[in-house]
Amino acid sequence: MTDDVNPSAANLEFAAGNGLVHRRLFLQGSALLGATGLGLLTARTASTAPPPEVPEWMRAPGAPMSPYGGRSRFEEDVQRIVGPPARGTTGAGSSRTPLERITGMITPNGLHFERHHSGIPDIDPNRHQLLIHGLVDRPLMFSMDALHRYPMVSRIQFLECSGNSRINMNPEPADRSCGGLHGLVSCSEWTGIPLGVLLEEAGVSSDARWLLAEGSDAAAMTRSVPLAKAMDDAMLALYQNGEALRPGQGYPVRLFLPGWEGNISVKWLRRLKLTRAPTMTKDETSKYTDPRPDGVAEMFTFPMGVKSLITSPAGGLTMQGPGLYEISGIAWSGSGRIRRVEVSADGGASWADAALTEPVLSKALTRFRVPWQWDGGPAVLLSRAIDENGAVQPLRNEIIAAKGLHFYYHNNAVQSWQVASNNEVKNVFV
Ligand code: CO
């Protein structure tokens, strides 16, 4: 490969150290790619390629139509990373999205991460009901048929477990893939009913400030939700990426609270009780609280921080020798839109702006991309996101200085990937 590097590499417009090329090279419709960069991506020209053959799949009709589509058999190794069941039960634990094997901003339904506390219930929608009660004028009970008659909205938004990326607070960097480290984040188009519509129908009492949300799983997962969030952008989600929620995502109805830690978007929702104060359930006192170095535990830390990850090149992938690469990744913020993503190829010594792929939506994954001319030498790749409020993703050392080493939730530290001359890409701390 090295010998094939096109002499036009000399014409590349570098934007930062160690080979980061200006993002405009890969912008759609850019004449620069044809004039300057394309030769760097082409392994061989047609004149030296072998003549076309007629493969066996052209010699007979292919498979018939099918009632529900599946993947190519050559893609079946793209799978969630399923963790071991926790504490001797079968249903408690998580599975992670293989972030380094997918692209764009939408997570396929079959690869959306899971985090369950007592398995996935097998709910009959004809028997499932949702109760709204407590501090309301009129307690209401909804069948699923009744819920489906309400006007709906659709939004593309991410969901991230607040325990995502915790493993990078270990003293040594774990040798895991990108998804294995950070795969408790996914992004979907969610469709459902604005929760405020149903709360107004029930008539919320003036002294109500919180809701208790209860799931219909064997853990009876319960969390306390501030009323202000419920009336702002909360949704009762019924559909994900155009089809009914999968059982693992809360079928037939889940609470969805955009930008907030995933656990509070209670799946298999069966009850919302309006209360004056938080209920202090087992799920928010034994978990999802944040001990500080001074011994105080912070509760109800809901929004997920501004964060980004390079998903290619990344752990779980292998380089193919020196040459021009597209660095690609995802960025998101629980507080709004992504304004900017910077990328470094020299361990943070210098940074270049990445191109953000449209659409850039509030509380959604945003895909970013930047070209990189890898010379085959050691490199450390980092990305750093800034959201529309000006919040900057912290370095690992900065977050440790603020929160200590023993916090569990809300790790939004910058991820570093070490690219080695032997083509390996590994998790590293800088
Ligand atoms: Co939290």
**DSSP states of 122-187 as a string?**
---TTT-EEEEEESBSS-EEEEHHHHTTS--EEEEEEEE-TTTTGGGGSSS-----HHHHH-SEEE
pLDDT of residue 39 exceeding 60, the answer is no
pLDDT value of residue 99: 98
pLDDT of residue 261 exceeding 70, the answer is yes
- How many beta carbons lie within 10 A of that of residue 126, not counting itself? 9
Q: Quote the ligand 1 centre to 280 CA distance (angstroms).
A: 14
pLDDT of residue 5 exceeding 50, the answer is no
Q: Quote the ligand 1 centre to 270 CA distance (angstroms).
A: 23
Q: What is the pLDDT of residues 49-82, one digit of tens each?
A: 666 788 999 999 999 999 999 999 999 999 999 9
98 half-sphere exposure, CB direction, 13 A CA radius: 15
Q: What is the pLDDT of residues 357-412, one digit of tens each?
A: 999 999 999 999 999 999 999 999 999 999 999 999 999 999 999 888 888 899 99
Across the chain, mean pLDDT equals 93
Q: Quote the ligand 1 centre to 166 CA distance (angstroms).
A: 12
CA distance 252 to 183: 24
Mean pLDDT of 317-328: 95
pLDDT of residue 223 exceeding 90, the answer is yes
Q: Quote the ligand 1 centre to 156 CA distance (angstroms).
A: 22
What's domain 307-428's architecture? Sandwich (2.60)
Q: Quote the ligand 1 centre to 94 CA distance (angstroms).
A: 17
pLDDT value of residue 423: 97
Mean pLDDT of 293-307: 93
Confidence of residue 91 (pLDDT cuts 50, 70, 90): confident
* Strand ranges (E), 163-268: 185-194, 210-215, 222-226, 235-240, 243-244, 254-256
- Domain range annotation of the chain: 129-175+184-290, 307-428
Q: Quote the ligand 1 centre to 136 CA distance (angstroms).
A: 28
Compute the C-alpha angle 382/386/391, nearest 5°. 125
pLDDT of residue 2 exceeding 60, the answer is no
Mean pLDDT of 142-152: 98
Q: Quote the ligand 1 centre to 308 CA distance (angstroms).
A: 18
Beta pairing class for 153-160 and 20-21 = unpaired
CATH class given for the domain over 129-175+184-290: alpha beta
pLDDT value of residue 86: 75
pLDDT value of residue 40: 61
Q: Quote the ligand 1 centre to 259 CA distance (angstroms).
A: 11
Q: Quote the ligand 1 centre to 162 CA distance (angstroms).
A: 6
Give me the sign of the Cα torsion angle 228, 199, 265, 100: negative
Mean pLDDT of 282-302: 90
| Helical residues (DSSP H) of 265-416, grouped into ranges | 282-285, 396-403
Q: Are 362 and 406 in contact (CB under 8 A)?
A: no
Q: Quote the ligand 1 centre to 302 CA distance (angstroms).
A: 5
Structure tokens at 157: 């938004």
In 3D space, the residue among 332, 389, 410, 327 whose CA is nearest the CA of residue 366 turns out to be 332
Q: Quote the ligand 1 centre to 305 CA distance (angstroms).
A: 10
Determine the number of helices (DSSP H) and then strands (DSSP E) in the chain: 8, 26
pLDDT of residue 241 exceeding 90, the answer is yes
- Residue 329 β-bridge partners: 310, 368
pLDDT value of residue 1: 37
